[in-house]
Structure 1
Amino acid sequence: MNKPARICSTCHLTSITSNAFCPRCRQKLYVRKPDSLKRTLALLLSATLLYIPANVLPIMIIEKMGQGKSDTIMTGVIALAGSGMVPIAIVVFVASIVVPLFKIIGITLLLLHASGLWHGNTLRLQKLYRFIDWVGRWSMLDIFMISVLISLVQFRILSIYAGQGATAFAAVVVLTMLASHTFDSRLLWDRWQAHE
């Protein structure tokens, strides 16, 4: 019987050994990421709870001549589209509303399959996992745009501030990125092998 490969979580050395510690950096070796499903579920639930205030609370506050106007993500998308900037409105809508929701639903499906509560196509779920992991780095586009606006437009007449929704949105992005990182995709194949 083949020994399972163990991957060091620190230096990423793959070892086929019965030793409990990495021969390179002396960290403990695991066959699978410890408590992967529990950690991923905790991060996913936190991201799901914060997704609501991220879309309801103002993400940006603009003060002009003492008058304040706040925008949520959706009102910002509508304002951009109304100003004739439809391509930018589409990018903001996809990056800020569609992608985080897609990641939350996708990670939920991965967790359901890996825990045995739902059976899907393992190969497609593996591709879904890779896509979620890849798209995660593009999710901070809105926060980047707000920070650029804040740094560019700090005049006496016009001031732009990040609202509470921006904090919640950044937390959703970080939590979903961490959830995809803590999920051990090899659990999908373990479940597939158990059904063979």
Structure 2
Amino acid sequence: MDGTGHGAENLKALTALDAGLVGCRHCTRVAPLGATICTRCGGALESRDRTSMQRVWAWWLVGLLFFIPANLYPMLITQTVGRASEATIVGGVIELAQHGAYGVAGIVFFASIIIPVGKFIAIGYLALIVRKPHGHKPKSLLHLFEVVEWIGRWSMIDVFVVAILVALVQFNLLATINPGIAAVCFALSVVFTMLSALSFDSRRIWDQIETIADE
């Protein structure tokens, strides 16, 4: 390293793979590269998940396929005095806004539309980025991945609302509320996108940064 400090620009993060080690993804204990079983927790050791990207794209695609009917078909079917009405996710948001419940409408719209769409974009972006060398900061990509993992569970709020309404609004002859096919599709879409995110091997981010540094 010279006195100007330019040598620091050529340094790269030292990973377990570079050091000839493999880390356990369950208890974080490291072992020599080539070990297959963690001596602490008994978990399987693998330096890189070679099939992770196939699983990421498979779950991502299935989740997207279920997300489409989740927004096209009714989420709620309401029956009042022999009269039935159906409401999609967007239709329910509009109806809530028309009744002045802007806060609730905003929460439902954010949790049911913005978050799921954002997750699809973020997971797809990460999966495409790690396919080849890139100049993005690895920590930024890792933070994006952690946000996707953390926020995924909140996409279920729409399903929770439906479950609560079905349980509370059961007045026999006066009114009944039943979940529509969209509720099932939406729940499955959330589950599949969560599986897609969990299948992503974040260690691949650092591999691509290392490739650029070597070049």
What is the TM-score of this pair, normalised by structure 2? 0.84
1:30 and 2:46 aligned = yes
**Which secondary structure state, in structure 2, belongs to the residue aligned with residue 84 of structure 1?**
coil
1:80 and 2:90 aligned = no
- In the TM superposition, 1:176-191 aligns within 5 A as 176-191=193-208
1:171 and 2:188 aligned = yes
- In the TM superposition, 1:124-143 aligns within 5 A as 124-143=140-159
What amino acid does structure 1 have at the position aligned with 2:170?
Q
1:57 and 2:51 aligned = no
Q: Specify the structure having the higher radius of gyration (Cα).
A: 2
Aligned residue pair count: 194
User: In the TM superposition, what whole-angstrom CA distance separates every residue of 1:144-181 from its partner, at most 9, and x where no partner exists?
Assistant: 11101111111111111110111111011111111111
What are the ranges of 5 or more consecutive residues in structure 1 without an aligned counterpart? none
What are the ranges of 5 or more consecutive residues in structure 2 without an aligned counterpart? 1-17
In structure 2, what is the equivalent of residue 41 of structure 1? Answer: 57
> Quick one: which of 5, 30, 54 aligns to 1:15?
30
What amino acid does structure 2 have at the position aligned with 1:41?
W
**CA apart distance, 1:45:** 0.7
What amino acid does structure 2 have at the position aligned with 1:20?
T
**Which secondary structure state, in structure 2, belongs to the residue aligned with residue 5 of structure 1?**
strand
**Which secondary structure state, in structure 2, belongs to the residue aligned with residue 140 of structure 1?**
helix
**Which secondary structure state, in structure 2, belongs to the residue aligned with residue 130 of structure 1?**
helix
What amino acid does structure 2 have at the position aligned with 1:58?
P
What amino acid does structure 2 have at the position aligned with 1:28?
A
What amino acid does structure 2 have at the position aligned with 1:74?
V
- Pairwise CA RMSD: 1.7
Change (3 A) 1:166 1:118: farther
On the 8 A contact 2:70/2:182 being kept in 1, the answer is: yes
Separation in structure 1 between the aligned mates of residue 45 and residue 170 of structure 2, nearest angstrom: 51
**Which secondary structure state, in structure 2, belongs to the residue aligned with residue 175 of structure 1?**
helix
